[in-house]
Amino acid sequence: MMIRPFANRLCSTAAIATLLIASSPDISWARDTKHFKKVQAGSGAAAVTLQTYASRPEAMQFADDMAARRDLDAAWVRDAIGRAQNNPTVVRLMQPPAKTFVKNWRVYRSRFIDPIRIEAGVRFWRTNQASLERAEKEYGVPAEIIVGIIGVETIYGRDTGSFRVMDALTTLAFDFPASHPRAGERSAFFKGELEQFLSLQHRRSIDPFEARGSFAGAMGMPQFMPSSWVKYALDFDGDGAVDLWNSTADVIGSVANYFKAFNWQPGMPTHYPVSFDKSRLDMDALMAPDILPTFSVASFTAKGAVLDGPALQHSGPLALIELLNGPHEPQYVAGTENFYAITRYNWSSYYAMSVIELGREVAARMER
Is the model's pLDDT at 7 over the cut of 60? no
Same domain, 245 and 285: no
Same domain, 155 and 221: yes
List, for residues 9-55, the tens digit of each pLDDT value: 333 322 323 333 333 343 333 333 333 333 333 333 344 567 999 99
Same domain, 95 and 40: yes
Instruction: List the single range of 92-106, 119-133, 327-341 with lowest mean pLDDT.
Output: 92-106
Let me know if residue 311 belongs to a domain: yes
Q: What does the mean pLDDT of the chain come to?
A: 89
Let me know if residue 343 belongs to a domain: no
List, for residues 186-232, the tens digit of each pLDDT value: 999 999 999 999 999 999 999 999 999 999 999 999 999 999 999 99
- What residue numbers bound the domain in which 166 lies? 13-50+85-261
Check residue 48 and give its pLDDT. 53
Same domain, 250 and 301: no
- How many domains does the chain contain in total? 2
Same domain, 143 and 287: no
Contact yes or no for 225/192 (Cβ under 8 A): no
Let me know if residue 349 belongs to a domain: no
Is the model's pLDDT at 252 over the cut of 90? yes
Check residue 213 and give its pLDDT. 98
Same domain, 153 and 229: yes
Check residue 43 and give its pLDDT. 36
Check residue 50 and give its pLDDT. 79
Residue 332 to residue 201: CA distance in whole angstroms: 43
Is the model's pLDDT at 120 over the cut of 60? yes
Check residue 99 and give its pLDDT. 72
Torsion sign across C-alpha atoms 201, 34, 94, 260: negative
Is the model's pLDDT at 113 over the cut of 70? yes
Same domain, 204 and 92: yes
Torsion sign across C-alpha atoms 56, 66, 20, 356: positive
Which of 261, 291, 321 marks a domain boundary? 261
Same domain, 303 and 217: no
| H-state helical runs in the chain | 13-20, 57-70, 74-83, 88-93, 105-112, 115-127, 129-139, 143-154, 165-174, 183-203, 226-232, 248-261, 283-287, 297-302, 337-343, 349-367
Q: Which residues are tagged catalytic?
A: 153
Same domain, 151 and 289: no
List, for residues 70-105, the tens digit of each pLDDT value: 999 999 999 999 999 999 999 999 988 777 778 999
Residue 258 to residue 341: CA distance in whole angstroms: 9
Which is more confidently placed, 269 or 99? 269
List, for residues 348-363, the tens digit of each pLDDT value: 999 999 999 999 999 9
Let me know if residue 177 belongs to a domain: yes
Give the contacts of 49 (CB within 8 A, at least 6 positions apart): none
Is the model's pLDDT at 300 over the cut of 90? yes
Contact yes or no for 38/214 (Cβ under 8 A): yes
**Mean local confidence (pLDDT), 163-174:** 98
Let me know if residue 6 belongs to a domain: no
Could you tell me if residue 31 is left (phi over 0), alpha (psi between -120 and 50 degrees) or otherwise beta?
A: beta
Residue 222 to residue 357: CA distance in whole angstroms: 17
Check residue 145 and give its pLDDT. 98
Same domain, 244 and 296: no
Let me know if residue 1 belongs to a domain: no
Same domain, 140 and 107: yes
Check residue 49 and give its pLDDT. 65
Residue 49 to residue 251: CA distance in whole angstroms: 35
Let me know if residue 151 belongs to a domain: yes
Give the contacts of 192 (CB within 8 A, at least 6 positions apart): 20, 23, 227
Same domain, 309 and 162: no
Which of 212, 233, 261 marks a domain boundary? 261
Contact yes or no for 105/315 (Cβ under 8 A): no
Check residue 353 and give its pLDDT. 98
Q: Give the chain's end-to-end CA distance (angstroms, integer).
A: 33
Which of 261, 294, 310 marks a domain boundary? 261
Residues 121-152 as b/e (b if ≥16 CB within 10 A, e otherwise) read bbebbeebeebbebbbeebebbbbbbbbbbbb
Let me know if residue 276 belongs to a domain: yes
